[in-house]
Amino acid sequence: MTNSGPEGNFRLDGKVAIITGGGSGIGQAIAYRFAHNGAAVRVVDINPDQAGATAKAILEAGGEATVYGCDVAEQAQVRDTFGKIFAREKISILVNNAGVSHIGTVESTSDADFERIFRVNVKGVYNGMHECVGHMKTNGGGVILNMASIAGTAALADRFAYSMSKGAVVAMTYSVAKDYLAYNIRCNCISPARVHTPFVDDYLRKNYPGREKEMYEKLAKSQPIGRMGKPEEVASLALFLCSDAASFLTGVDYPLDGGFFNLRG
């Protein structure tokens, strides 16, 4: 019964993990959790200052982390960034977390809005997997974890483009899991409900000045469990799915939704 607790089963010692969008929010929480559990973390983010702050905190806590500035929507940048990492070390884990949100119906979503969401949320995930799968095949396998959303499989009001993008992430996850079973590459995704990240706070400040607390409570209580999720809770599930404890799991979309799907009135 040795190593039966989370500090045993979910350890990532000796593994190197690329985490996109690791400079803030869910990506930052995943970076912290992975580093705490033994992984060497490569923080990839369009904002190098935020990524640097994540890496600095990891280093100060005794972990290992390096920073790479990269726009995941640009394939040339992803190829160059991942190539630099691959030249130095074997990557065991890829977390495609970088993403952006959007509020609007099909009528209010402009062509520019749609293109931006597609390029970051869909093409960004494709770019990461496109570059990493060959490397993992050559090195005996690996784990890919994509960040989807309940918006990808449930009808949410005013989330047309965002829902489109996250539905594509779920579909890509299934496809890659199926195509690379024989290469020891596992691919899963997490679909969180509303999580309290800086995006939520920025949204409330922008749209409800002076009413931020009131609207935060309203949004939190709209979920059956009565609150928003925490980035650290997503990170806990991510750690499990990327650890050897989850070696029998692939091709699954995991809702982390506070009862959204099954407990709505």
The pTM (predicted TM-score) of the whole model is 0.93
C-alpha span between 70 and 21 (Å, rounded): 9
Does 262 fall in a domain?
A: no
| Together in a domain, 44 and 85 | yes
Does 264 fall in a domain?
A: no
Task: Average the pLDDT over 207-236 and give the result.
Answer: 90
Residues tagged active-site: 162
Residue 170, judged by CB atoms within 10 A of its CB (0-12, 13-18, 19+), counts as: middle
> Quick one: pLDDT band at residue 223, thresholds 50, 70, 90?
confident
| Together in a domain, 244 and 201 | no
| Together in a domain, 143 and 178 | yes
Instruction: Inform me whether the pLDDT recorded for 4 exceeds 70.
Output: no
Q: Select the more confidently predicted residue: 265 or 189.
A: 189
Supply the range of the domain harboring residue 219: 194-228
Question: What pLDDT is attached to residue 260?
Answer: 80
| Together in a domain, 80 and 186 | yes
| Together in a domain, 108 and 198 | no
Q: Which of 115-124, 184-193, 221-230, 239-248 has the lowest mean pLDDT?
A: 221-230
Tens of pLDDT, residue by residue over 8-59, are 579 999 999 999 999 999 999 999 999 999 999 999 999 999 999 999 999 9
Does 91 fall in a domain?
A: yes
Question: What pLDDT is attached to residue 264?
Answer: 67
Q: CB within 8 A of 233, min separation 6: which ones?
A: 195, 256
| Together in a domain, 40 and 72 | yes
| Together in a domain, 139 and 160 | yes
| Together in a domain, 139 and 202 | no
Instruction: Inform me whether the pLDDT recorded for 5 exceeds 70.
Output: no
Instruction: Inform me whether the pLDDT recorded for 6 exceeds 80.
Output: no
Instruction: Inform me whether the pLDDT recorded for 3 exceeds 50.
Output: no
The tally of domains found in the chain comes to 2
Q: CB within 8 A of 138, min separation 6: which ones?
A: none
> Quick one: pLDDT band at residue 156, thresholds 50, 70, 90?
confident
- Token pair recorded at residue 54: 């994540």
Does 265 fall in a domain?
A: no
Instruction: Give the CATH number, domain containing residue 22.
Output: 3.40.50.720
Does 22 fall in a domain?
A: yes
Residue 118, judged by CB atoms within 10 A of its CB (0-12, 13-18, 19+), counts as: middle
Question: What pLDDT is attached to residue 197?
Answer: 86
Look over the chain and give the mean of its residue pLDDT values, rounded to a whole number.
Answer: 93
Q: Quick count: other Cβ atoms within 10 Å of Cβ 81?
A: 23
| Together in a domain, 126 and 202 | no
| Together in a domain, 242 and 201 | no
